[in-house]
Structure 1
Amino acid sequence: MIDQLLDRPITDFIPQREPMVMIDKIITCEGNTITTSFLVKSDNQFLSGNRFSESGMLENIAQTAAAKVGYECLKNNEPVPLGFIGSINKVGVVDYALVEQVITTEVIIQREVLNVTIIKGTCMLGDKDLATCEMKIILDLG
């Protein structure tokens, strides 16, 4: 079955707007996992030289998590809430994407309690991990 929801603009799923959009599209969203892709462009504000920085990868992971929430809300005809990073733990960076490379990011929901979600995120270049972390994300449901 083709998921036509995935054909929507990425800004339908996340609250960020240019120039702060750090994901291009949702590749898959099933169960507790979402995968997105992102082309690192030369005008990206999270570049350090020609490398996509740690901060950029963490923002990419956070936006991938936000896209998961947005996807589920749109699927259920509910408004997409704002979310905020409560904490970032267990950060590991082993390499960087360069300008004009496409990274894929996988976020797995570990736990959800009330309006708090714990995720594990991984940025990858091909099948090589670039960065991993855990995040606590707080949804503004009010």
Structure 2
Amino acid sequence: MTMAGNNPIATKDFVEILIPQKFPFVMVDTLYSYSETELVSGFTIEKDTIFFANDFFIESGIVEHMAQSVALHTGYQFYLKKQQAPTGYIGSINKLQINQLPKLHDEIKTTVTILQEFGGITLVDIVTKLNNVEIAYGQMKTVLAK
């Protein structure tokens, strides 16, 4: 089920059902597109966002947003199968580069691309953009709890 453009598959309330994090620690609020190998998520920076400081969404917030985007892919995948999603953990983060910090009311969009998936371990490329300009990139390895 893939949708293009700015027509989300899911918004805030439904997205929160798909991930293990709960308010105020939620760093994804929109699911724009999904396929077995890719997901596009969104997050609008609000004043009550935990990682908002000195008028910016700080680095740790971007990393958490990236990780939750991966969790959203898993959560939606299990939702489509009508199964409960297992909890996942970050195994490693590589090649992380953050070039710009978003400001209040900016919406970041993140594309998660599945590179490999085997035995509950998933390797992904993650690109975060602001106004269609790449502001962060990294690779993440996640592990599902048994």
Does the TM-score normalized on the shorter chain lie above 0.5? yes
Q: Please state whether the residue corresponding to 2:142 is helix, strand or coil.
A: strand
2:48 to 20, 38, 43: 43
* Matching of residues 1-142 of structure 1 within 5 Å: 6-7=9-10, 9-140=14-145, 142=146
Partner letter of residue 142 of structure 2? I
Q: Could you tell me how far apart the structure 2 residues matched to 1:54 and 1:36 are?
A: 18
Moved over 6 A (4+): none
Q: How many residues align?
A: 140
- TM-score calculated relative to the size of structure 2: 0.90
Kindly state the Cα deviation for residue 107 of structure 1 after the two structures are TM-superposed. Answer: 0.5
Identity %: 29
User: Deviation at 1:6?
Assistant: 3.0
Question: For residue 67 of structure 1, what is the amino acid of its counterpart?
Answer: L
| CA RMSD across the alignment | 1.8
Q: CA deviation at 1:117?
A: 0.5
Whole-Å separation in 1 of the counterparts to 2:18 and 2:138 = 22
Q: Aligned partners of 2:112 and 2:92: how far apart in 1?
A: 15
Note the C-alpha offset of 1:2.
Answer: 8.5
Q: Which runs of 5+ in 2 are unaligned?
A: none
SS at match of 1:9: helix
Q: Normalising by structure 1, report the TM-score.
A: 0.92
